[in-house]
Structure 1
Amino acid sequence: MKIVIVGGGSAGWMAAAALGRIMGGQWPVELVESDAIGTVGVGEATIPQIQLFNGVIGLDEAEFVARTKGSFKLGIEFVGWHGGEDARYMHAFGQVGRDLGLIAFHHYWLQARARGDRSRLEDYSQSGTAAFANRFTRDDTLPNAPLGGATYAYHFDAGLYAAFLREKAEGFGVVRHEGRITEVAQDPETGNVAAVVMEDGRRIAGDLFIDCSGFAALLIGKTMGVEFIDWSEWLPMNRALAVPCESVEPLTPYTRSTARKAGWQWRIPLQHRIGNGHVYCSDYLGDEEAAEILLANLDGKPLADPRPLRFTTGRRRECWKGNVVALGLASGFLEPLESTSIHLVQSGLKHLIDLLPHDRIDPADVAAFNAKTAFDYEAIRDFIILHYHANDRPEPFWQRCREMRIPDSLAEKIETFRAHGRIFRFNEELFTELGWLQVMTGQGIVPRSYHPLADAPGDDNVDRYLASIRELVQAKVQRMPPHRDYLNQLCGTPAEVAA
Structure 2
Amino acid sequence: MHKPIKKVVIVGGGTAGWISAALLKKVIGAPIDVELVESESIGTVGVGEATIPPIRLLNNVLGLNESEFLAKTKGTIKLGIQFENWRVEGESYFHSFGAAGKSMAFCHFHHFWQRAQSLGLNTSIWDYDLNYLAAKAGKFAQINSKDPIIELPYAYHFDAGLYAKYLREVSERMGVLRTEGLIEHVEQDKDSGFISTLVLQDGRKIAGDLFIDCSGFRGLLIQQQLGAGFDDWSHWLPCDRAIAVPSERHATTLPYTRSIAHAGGWQWRIPLQHRNGNGVVYSSQHYSQQQALDLLLNNLDSKAIGEPNFIKFQTGRRRQQWARNVVAVGLSSGFLEPLESTSIHLIQSAIVRLIHMFPHQGIKAIDVAEYNRQSKVEYEQIRDFIILHYHVNERNDSHFWRDLRNMEVPDSLRHKIELFRATGRLFREQNDLFLESSWLQVLVGQGIVPQDYHPIANNLSKDKLFEMLNTIQAIKNEPLAKLPSHDDFLQSFCTKPN
Interval containing the TM-score (normalised by the shorter chain) = over 0.9
Which residue does 1:429 correspond to in 2?
432
Matched, 1:448 2:451: yes
Partners in 2 of 1:167 and 1:415 — Cα distance? 49
Please give the alpha-carbon distance, in whole angstroms, between the structure 2 residues aligned to 1:146 and 1:372: 30
Work out the CA distance in 2 between the residues paired with 1:75 and 1:300: 22
- Offset of residue 145 of structure 1: 4.4
Distance 1:450 1:9 in 2: 47
Partner-residue secondary structure (3-state), 1:235 = coil
How many Å separate the matches in 2 of 1:336 and 1:116? 38
Among 60, 72, 75, the alignment partner of 1:70 is: 75
**In structure 1, distance between residues paired with 2:257 and 2:125:** 18
User: Residue type matched to 1:18 in 2?
Assistant: L
State the distance in 2 between where 1:116 and 1:335 align: 39
Q: What is the Cα deviation at residue 101 of structure 1?
A: 4.3
Q: CA deviation at 1:146?
A: 4.8
**How far, CA to CA, are the matches of 1:305 and 1:171 in structure 2?**
34
The one-letter amino acid of 1:99's match is S
| Residue 460 of structure 1, CA deviation | 1.1
Aligned partner of residue 54 in structure 1, secondary structure: helix
Answering whether residue 347 of structure 2 is matched by residue 345 of structure 1, we say: yes
Match of 1:52 among 57, 78, 100: 57
Q: Deviations over 1:286-344 (max 9, x none)?
A: 11111111111111100112211100000011000100000000000000000000000
Aligned twin of 2:163: 161
Distance 2:386 2:29 in 1: 38
- Post-superposition shift, 1:455? 1.2
Whole-angstrom distance in 2 between the partners of 1:306 and 1:25: 42
The separation in 2 between residues aligned to 1:306 and 1:167, in whole angstroms, is 28
User: Residues 2 and 206 of structure 1 are in contact (CA less than 8 Å); yes or no, is this contact kept in structure 2?
Assistant: yes
Identity among equivalent pairs (%): 52
User: Matches of 2:386 and 2:296 in 1, distance apart?
Assistant: 22
The residue that corresponds to 1:237 in the other structure is: 239
1:223-372 equivalent positions in 2, closer than 5 A: 223-372=225-374
- RMSD value over aligned CA atoms? 1.1
Is contact 1:25–1:173 with CA below 8 Å preserved after alignment? no
- Distance across 2 between alignment mates of 1:478 and 1:415: 40
* Residue 113 of structure 1: how far off its partner (Å): 1.4
> What are the residue-to-residue correspondences of 1:110-149 with 2, within 5 Å?
110-140=114-144, 145-149=147-151
2:3: which partner in 1?
none
For 1:472, which of 475, 486, 491 is the aligned residue? 475
Q: Say whether 1:12 aligns with 2:35.
A: no
| Inter-partner Cα distance in structure 2 for 1:402 and 1:101 | 35
Partner of 1:25: 30
Q: Distance in 1 between matches of 2:89 and 2:478?
A: 31
Q: Aligned with 1:461: secondary structure?
A: helix
Q: Which amino acid aligns with 1:280?
A: Y
Displacement of 1:51 after TM fit?
Answer: 0.6
Comparing 62-71 with 284-293, which one deviates more in the overlay? 284-293
Residue-by-residue CA offset, 1:101-123 (whole Å, 9 max, x unaligned): 43110100111112232211221
Partner residue, 1:379: 381
- Which string of whole-angstrom CA distances, capped at 9 and with x for unpartnered residues, describes residues 122-174 of structure 1? 21111111001110011347xx7451422000000000000000000011100
Q: Distance in 2 between matches of 1:354 and 1:316?
A: 20
User: Could you tell me whether the CA contact under 8 Å between 2:150 and 2:476 is conserved in 1?
Assistant: no
Rounded Cα–Cα distance in structure 2 between residues aligned with 1:477 and 1:126: 8
Asked if the contact 2:28–2:355 (Cα under 8 Å) also holds between the matched residues in 1, the reply is: no
SS of corresponding position for 2:327: strand
TM-score by length of 1: 0.97
Q: Secondary structure at the match of 1:416?
A: helix
Structure 1's 344 and 207: CA in aligned 2 closer, same or farther, altered over 3 A?
Answer: same
Secondary structure in 1 matching 2:235: coil
- Counterpart of 2:399 in structure 1 is 396
- The answer to whether the 8 A contact 2:21-2:176 is kept is yes
Q: Give TM-score scaled by structure 2 length.
A: 0.97
d(CA) in 2 for partners of 1:148 and 1:191?
54
Displacement of 1:95 in angstroms is: 2.6
User: 1:340 is matched by which residue type in structure 2?
Assistant: T
Structure 1 residue 393, shift from structure 2 partner? 1.0
Structure 1 Cα separation of the partners of residues 106 and 212 of structure 2: 46
- Name the counterpart of 1:177: 179
Whole-angstrom CA distance in 2 between matches of 1:45 and 1:209: 27
- Equivalenced residue count is 490
Q: Distance in 1 between matches of 2:340 and 2:378?
A: 14
Deviation per CA, 1:49-96, whole angstroms, max 9, x where unpaired?
0011111111110000000000000000000111x3221111001232
Equivalent-residue separation in structure 2 for 1:304 and 1:231 (angstroms)? 32
Whichever residue aligns with residue 345 of structure 2, its letter is: H
Match of 2:104 in 1: 100
Per-residue CA shift, 1:232-255, capped at 9, x if unaligned? 010000001101111113210000
**CA positional deviation for 1:349:** 0.6
Residue identity matched to 1:62: S
Cα displacement string for residues 369-412 of structure 1 (whole angstroms, at most 9, x for unaligned residues): 00011111000000000000001111110000000000000000
What is the rounded CA distance, in whole Å, between the counterparts of 1:101 and 1:365 in structure 2? 37
